[in-house]
Chain A
Amino acid sequence: MGISISNISKSYKNVKALQNISFDVKPNELFGLIGPDGAGKTTLFRILTTLLFPDQGTATVAGFDVVGDYKEIRKNVGYMPGRFSLYQDLTVEENLNFFATIFGTTIDENYDLIKDIYVQIEPFKDRRAGKLSGGMKQKLALSCALIHKPKVLFLDEPTTGVDPVSRKEFWEMLKRLQQKGITILVSTPYMDEAALCDRVALIQDGKILQIDTPKAIVKHYPKPIYNVRSNNMYQLIRSLKDYEFNHSIYPFGEFVHYTDSRTDFNPKELQKYLEAQNLSDIEIEQTEATIEDTFMELAK
């Protein structure tokens, strides 16, 4: 009763937005679709919410076919599109009331589902939605998407453009919703949010790179990764790029994540090489891979 996607493809003119995508989301799972802009996340969401036809392949949501049973799906899913899609000139309460009415329900009827979220914006219920802060808009949008007690919730980049505090609160809300038995498919371009999902699919250029639990994904990173730093970041990157045994070099904040092409890599050798390049304050230590490392390794 979750989501089942098999061999979905979709093209626009000459762009292949989705290429042969298959995966399942289990009932009551919090599943993340992680990838940059243009990876095909929104297209997949639109197919699953019956807004687009797939060119090929089939998919079911809550047991209903996305093409044949679109009317059933529209009754049973909640959808929060990427952009803030509420009426800016309506107040918080009017927006919520409107969405309750078009789904044939009332705020009172499903109040306990949205209560946790709605109480935070209830003090502003007479304020026009356009005047809310980013975090509050997002809470209102989520309340509106939940008001008809959907079985499956689709959230397309809900945390894009939202400050870290609101992001954190948002993920906490998702966890609580999951406990209430809702299946959630959420997309995000932020790799660090992957760790908050039960399972994730990494997607780029319309292709799934990998599907697994966040832990398993980083565990399967094929090589040891080293944090390297020095007094000059730019020179460090240049020197590492010239190093004949490098496998990958990616700046990661104050460090560079370095992997070596050899199996018997000795950090001391690299240290000597870098010192010979006139770099100082060199530190090299092994570190754990992140989802982002995996993503880049797979996308390479």
Chain B
Amino acid sequence: MKRFIGFIKKEFYHIFRDRRSLFILFGMPIAQILLFGFAITNEINNVDIAILDHSKDNTTEEIINKIAASKYFSIKQMITREADIASVFQKGQVKAVLNFEKDFGRNLVKDHKATIQIITDATDPNTANTITNYVNAILQQYQKELNKDITIAYQIMPQTRMVYNPELKSVYMFVPGVMTIILMLVSAMMTSISITREKELGTMEILLVSPLKPFQVIIGKVIPYIFLSIINAVVIVMLSIFIFNMPVQGSLFLLGLESVLFIITSLALGILISTISATQQTAMMISLMGLMLPVILLSGFIFPISSMPMLLQIISNIIPAKWFIIILKAIMLKGVGMQFIWKETLILLGMTVFFIALSVKKYKIRLE
């Protein structure tokens, strides 16, 4: 045991003396969260729109007021002719035009049905999409209020309520993804680099020719990074709670447990990577290409899995990050407990056991 503690002590020396890595280790999560939270966002704010109101009645006025009152839109122009629609877009003055049909209010009461046309500038499809969603959300809100006063509901509009993230805050979507990436990188890349560094330096030879058992070397390498990753996870959650006011609906304890599980999965992957790479450079390349890219592309972090081709959807199942993101979202946003995520947890656990078994099998007590 004394040997083991001595080994861990040495690992911490390495980590704390390598200022640059230490900075990356703790600077990266903060930078990423802030970056995703503030800069890279698909939220919209004060988008300029124009309105073409053929009806000019109380209902349209109320709706227009509601839209104007929201911080998402600012009404730049009121236009009067259909022909102006094209020209405001061409001049690039507005991103969207809302076109109320004639007799909008009356139709709504009489036919329980009124039409509004939402025309968006789709040169930027993401924004166009978001604008449409936001306008829809405002319209539905209005409709709900309208129906409250009337005993017989006139409801006709399609219901597409946004749940769990009613404000459509993108930071809520990014936090689980960023947390996954950071934990994966810190755990897998840093461990694989620190093990291959010993190989490169030749110190691995000396460690092998010592009574230290291989599993002690590995566990000793891994423990400091478990510790650091947990700190990182805490930092990320704190940042999202205190800076972005992100609610964590579920149990923090469960969140912690699941994070530790995922950290161990990543560490096992890191060890596996170190067994197949001889240099730090290879380990880094494999970690970046083999772990980062799939996490970003296939875990559902940025691109929804359900809209991927079938083959990629199948492949996404073997990516641990996918399951961890599902778990994170469930706990943080839905506030559910173990009874709803036991399946994902089990899958993650299975993968961890598999990776550990594989890396123990692959770990060589000799040089070949």
Chain A residues in the interface with B (C-beta under 8 A): 46, 49-53, 70-71, 74-75, 77, 79, 81-90, 94, 97-99, 101-104, 144-145
Contact = CB atoms under 8 A, between A and B. Distances in A.
B205 A102 contact: no
A87 B5 CA distance: 17
A71 B211 contact: yes
Interface string B3-29: 101110110011001100000000000
Contacts of B86: none
13 contacts: A49-B209, A71-B211, A74-B210, A74-B211, A77-B209, A85-B201, A85-B203, A87-B14, A98-B9, A99-B206, A101-B7, A102-B3, A102-B7
B296 interface: no
A145 B366 CA distance: 19
A98 B206 CA distance: 12
A85 B209 contact: no
A74 B202 contact: no
B360 to A, nearest CB: 18
B311 interface: no
A228 B7 CA distance: 59
A102 B366 contact: no
B109 interface: no
A207 B210 CA distance: 29
A89 B13 contact: yes
Contacts of B145: none
Contacts of B203: 85-87
Interface residues of B, number: 26
A53 B368 contact: yes
Nearest to A78: B209
B6 A101 contact: yes
A50 B207 contact: no
Nearest to B220: A102
A52 B212 CA distance: 17
Nearest to A91: B13
B278 interface: no
Contact of A79 (B14, B205, B211, B367): B205
Contacts of A89: 13-14, 17-18
Contacts of A50: 208-209, 366
Contacts of A77: 209
3 closest pairs, A vs B, by CB?
A101-B6, A85-B202, A83-B202
A157 to B, nearest CB: 12
Nearest to B364: A51
Contacts of A83: 201-202
Contact of B208 (A51, A88, A103): A51
Contacts of B2: 101, 104
A264 B208 CA distance: 58
A90 B10 contact: yes
A102 B6 contact: yes
Contacts of A103: 3, 210-211
Contacts of B18: 89
Contacts of A71: 211
Contact of A74 (B5, B7, B209): B209
